[in-house]
Amino acid sequence: MDTPQRHAAPSDAAYAAPIPQVFYIHDDLSADVRQTHGVQSLAYDLTQALLTLVRRQPERVVVLHLEAQICALVQQAVPTPFAMTIGIGQAGARVAEQLQQRTGWFPVRCQVEVTREEDGHGGYTLVSPGGSSLAAQLQRVDTSSSVAVVDDTVFSGLTMRGVLQALPPAALARTHAFCLRGVAESLPSIRALCPLSIGFAAPGRLLDEVSFINAAGLVRRISIRRTGQPSLAFFERPEWMHAWFPGYADEVIALCRRLNALLEPGPA
């Protein structure tokens, strides 16, 4: 049976994606599906099939694993523990908790709600889903003797820079940023604001030479956030999928649809 093709809306067309020379996919999906559905489930079988399929071009598509990134990060000497740790969204808060369990660096943690949204014209804006401004969320760190800001990925650097620039100036002077992975080209703009420790930095120009996604975003509607519109999973942006998986994108999309139906049952 033919699968109906989704045509790009005008807002989608504003966000072109070149074919990256190296495409990194962080596997944040296997552990989640294993925990929620079990290793004997169809969802877990499809997850492993998906991760195998996306690596059909292993010279270009690289799957990253959490353990290697954490190990590389914890080997770096930093002045710890921090008096206050800010996790950027759920992803940053989760990384801060994982690092705390390994190192004890972040005993006192809070989470700020901020996310990047497409504005429909090719750009992005930072928004606070809860309605409270970043500045208001960050007021409590003003008197902290040392501050850590933690996120999972630095891609363009927009989110990390936005949080750092919203810190009170005195607090920023006592801040150290952390992330598990990122694009090397985006890191100088962060280091211009404060010291930065990273587990894995990919060399190359953003998008055309190197790109990053999380595997969960392929199948869950969490990664493409749009102003005034529902969020999308990556498989619902077929032009990106064809850029990332040239020659076999339709197979990846079909498998993502099957997995999405298990992980997010109900109407789209």
Q: Is residue 79 within a helix (H) or strand (E), and if so which, with residue range? A: none
Q: Strands 115-118 and 109-112, how do they pair?
A: unpaired
Encoded tokens for 177: 């940023």
Give yes or no for residue 5 having a pLDDT over 70: no
Instruction: Tell whether 223 and 180 lie within a shared domain.
Output: no
Per residue in 85-128, pLDDT tens? 999 999 999 999 999 999 999 999 999 999 999 998 889 999 99
Instruction: Name residues whose C-beta falls within 8 Å of residue 173's C-beta, 6 or more positions apart in sequence.
Output: none
Instruction: Tell whether 83 and 183 lie within a shared domain.
Output: yes
Instruction: Tell whether 50 and 160 lie within a shared domain.
Output: no
Q: Average pLDDT of the chain?
A: 92
Give the count of domains, the chain. 2
Distance CA 209, CA 133 (A): 34
Instruction: Tell whether 176 and 249 lie within a shared domain.
Output: no
Is 228 within a domain? Answer: yes
Instruction: Name residues whose C-beta falls within 8 Å of residue 156's C-beta, 6 or more positions apart in sequence.
Output: 124, 183, 186, 206
Instruction: Please give the average per-residue pLDDT across 182-209, as a whole number.
Output: 96
State the pLDDT confidence band at 13, using cuts at 50, 70 and 90.
low
Encoded tokens for 78: 């930093």
Claim: this prediction has a pTM higher than 0.85: yes
Per residue in 153-190, pLDDT tens? 999 999 999 999 999 999 999 999 999 999 999 999 99
**Which whole-number Å values give the CA distances from 103 to 77, 79, 159, 216, in the listed order?**
11, 12, 25, 26
Residue type at 230 in one-letter notation:
P
Instruction: Tell whether 182 and 86 lie within a shared domain.
Output: yes
Instruction: Tell whether 159 and 233 lie within a shared domain.
Output: no
Instruction: Tell whether 36 and 131 lie within a shared domain.
Output: no
Phi and psi for 115 in degrees, rounded to 5? -150, 160
State the pLDDT confidence band at 268, using cuts at 50, 70 and 90.
low
Is 37 within a domain? Answer: yes
CATH number of the domain to which 83 belongs: 3.40.50.2020
Among candidate residues 123, 47, 137, 125, the one with its CA nearest the CA of residue 88: 137
Range of the domain at 87: 68-199
Over its C-alpha atoms, the chain yields an Rg (Å, rounded) of: 19
Instruction: Tell whether 87 and 122 lie within a shared domain.
Output: yes
Instruction: Please give the average per-residue pLDDT across 23-31, as a whole number.
Output: 97
State the pLDDT confidence band at 9, using cuts at 50, 70 and 90.
very low
State the pLDDT confidence band at 235, using cuts at 50, 70 and 90.
very high
Q: What's the confidence (pLDDT) of residue 6?
A: 39
Q: What's the confidence (pLDDT) of residue 129?
A: 84
Instruction: Tell whether 195 and 143 lie within a shared domain.
Output: yes
Instruction: Tell whether 107 and 159 lie within a shared domain.
Output: yes
Encoded tokens for 133: 């401004």
Instruction: Tell whether 59 and 74 lie within a shared domain.
Output: no
